[in-house]
């Protein structure tokens, strides 16, 4: 039986997106199942969908990722320079 993925949509204006956007992340993955999104892991351990097509000055979190851990899915962790394009900083746990 396939596991369903639940996404909680965040309908935020541009100013609210900038205010709630994370600046520090632990990991960022590009999964084959979600070609227009990244999965990011925040320092508190939660994972969220992030739009890969958002502008570089506003990171848009689309909702909480509740699927299998990205290391168990078809995809890969992005190169270290990609999060910097979105104004994010990779930190160690």
**pLDDT single digits (tens) 38-90:** 999 988 888 988 888 876 556 677 788 999 999 999 999 999 999 888 888 89
Query: Rounded to two decimals, what is the model's pTM?
Result: 0.72
Residue pair 69/53 in contact by the 8 Å Cβ criterion:
no
| Residues forming beta bridges with residue 33, ordered by sequence position | none
Torsion sign, CA atoms 83, 90, 79, 72: negative
Q: What is the pLDDT of residue 68?
A: 92
Three-class DSSP labels, the chain? CCCCCCCCCCCCCHHHHHHHCCCEECEEEEECCCCCEEEEECCCCCEEEEECCCCCCCCCEEEECCCCCHHHCCEEECCCHHHHHCCCEECCC
């Amino acid at each position: 039986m396939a596991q369903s993925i639940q996404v909680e949509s965040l309908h935020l204006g541009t100013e609210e997106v900038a205010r709630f956007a994370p600046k520090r992340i632990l990991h960022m993955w590009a999964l084959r199942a979600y070609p227009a999104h990244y999965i990011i892991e925040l320092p508190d351990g939660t994972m969220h969908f992030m739009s890969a097509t958002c502008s570089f000055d506003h990171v848009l979190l689309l909702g909480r990722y509740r699927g299998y851990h990205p290391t168990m899915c078809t995809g890969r962790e992005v190169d270290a320079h990609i999060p910097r394009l979105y104004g994010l900083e990779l930190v160690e746990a």
